[in-house]
């Protein structure tokens, strides 16, 4: 506790001093993806735009591949002021602001366009209301992707195929309950530990977008990728309130503009690269199965929605579902 208070005080002092000389700023942005991942590429594109719009006065230094820690470490660092910027999924962010976990509910969105509309409106509002008071400012919401199941036992076509599988999940109640609803065994684990755990057979499988499966080389240690499309994973662009307070209004405007412009660029990139990632996976020897009984999965995971609505009510879920 003393460490948290000290870290917060030091961060506040640093950024207060920085505000007096706000003409030149360096911001470290950490994330867990590989540089070849679409949101890793988005981070680099964002940094370039910021440099361009600020005439080099704002230098966003990008640290990919968990160089500054796993997602939970990075988000916690924002709240303490020891990390300036990060990209993180709502699943991890939900451990700090549980209300945003609504976006991790299985089969919530009709398609990616529905997801985009919900995140750009309801998502940004929820982040303003619940994330900002925790010491984090949301600049935009990018994309990680549609998540799919992988394992070494066989193709997953129905919920019955999930029974007994030991599956890595993020340390988040919605994903843990998702696996339980499918009678699989959820095993929370950081992404940085996942490849080795799969390689050694500590777990049977995991779930991630095709971009992560390809760029993290999970297809090397997983035989079957099944296109369950059970959740859509947003990627939230966050800056610490301490860092934000040390910026001029003009600098804040530049960062926001670059984040929003990168959002559209990065989402389009995700669509463009899906085929490439699928080919990388199959060329690597894994099999992709699209023969999935989605209706059966939707029915089996209905109880996960109740987990959220019992705690926070149905209003937000209904607002998302009703979006046209």
One-character DSSP codes across 16-47: HHHHHTTTSEEEEEE-SS-TTSHHHHHHHHHH
| pTM exceeds cut of 0.85 | yes
Write down the pLDDT at residue 6.
Answer: 44
Tens-digit pLDDT profile for residues 118-174: 999 999 999 999 999 999 999 999 999 999 999 999 999 999 999 999 999 998 999
Tens-digit pLDDT profile for residues 173-200: 999 999 999 999 999 999 999 999 999 9
The Cα 318–Cα 295 span in angstroms is: 20
What's the mean per-residue pLDDT of the chain? 93
In the predicted model, is pLDDT for residue 17 greater than 50?
no
Tens-digit pLDDT profile for residues 69-123: 999 999 999 999 999 999 999 999 999 999 999 999 999 999 999 999 999 999 9
Fold observed for domain 2-321: D-Maltodextrin-Binding Protein; domain 2 (3.40.190)
Q: Helices (DSSP H) in the chain: which residue ranges?
A: 2-20, 38-53, 71-80, 90-93, 112-118, 124-126, 173-181, 191-199, 210-215, 241-245, 249-283, 294-300, 302-312, 315-321
Q: Nearest 5°: CA angle at 64, between 29 and 272?
A: 105
Tens-digit pLDDT profile for residues 199-226: 999 999 999 999 999 999 999 999 999 9
Q: Helices (DSSP H) in 139-172: which residue ranges?
A: none
């Amino acid at each position: 506790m003393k460490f948290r208070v000290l870290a917060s005080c030091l961060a506040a002092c640093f950024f207060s001093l920085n505000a007096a000389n706000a003409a030149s700023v360096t911001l470290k942005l950490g994330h867990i993806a590989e540089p070849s991942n679409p949101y890793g590429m988005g981070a680099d594109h964002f940094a370039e735009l910021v440099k361009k719009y600020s005439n080099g006065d704002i230098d966003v230094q990008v640290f990919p591949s968990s160089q500054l820690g796993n997602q939970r470490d990075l988000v916690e660092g924002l709240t303490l002021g020891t990390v300036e910027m990060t990209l993180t999924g709502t699943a991890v962010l939900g451990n700090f602001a549980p209300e945003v976990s609504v976006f991790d509910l299985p089969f919530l969105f009709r398609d990616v366009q529905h997801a985009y509309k919900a995140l750009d409106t309801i998502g940004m509002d929820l982040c303003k209301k619940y994330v900002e008071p925790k010491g984090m400012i949301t600049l935009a919401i990018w994309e990680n992707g549609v998540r799919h199941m992988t394992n070494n036992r066989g193709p997953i076509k129905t919920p019955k195929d999930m029974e007994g599988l030991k599956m890595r999940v993020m340390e988040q109640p919605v994903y843990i309950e998702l696996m339980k609803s499918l009678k699989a065994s959820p095993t929370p684990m950081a992404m940085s530990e996942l490849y080795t755990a799969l390689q050694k057979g500590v777990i049977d499988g995991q779930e991630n977008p095709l971009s992560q499966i390809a760029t993290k080389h999970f297809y090397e240690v997983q035989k079957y990728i099944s296109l369950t499309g059970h959740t859509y994973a947003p990627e939230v662009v966050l800056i610490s309130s301490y860092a934000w307070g040390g910026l001029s209004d003009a600098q804040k405007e530049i960062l926001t503009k670059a984040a929003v412009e990168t959002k559209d660029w990065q989402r389009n990139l995700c669509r463009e690269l899906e085929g490439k990632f699928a080919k990388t996976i199959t060329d690597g020897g894994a099999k992709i199965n699209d023969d999935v009984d989605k209706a059966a999965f939707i029915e089996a995971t209905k109880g996960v929605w109740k987990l959220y609505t019992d705690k926070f009510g149905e209003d937000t879920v209904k607002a998302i579902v009703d979006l046209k």
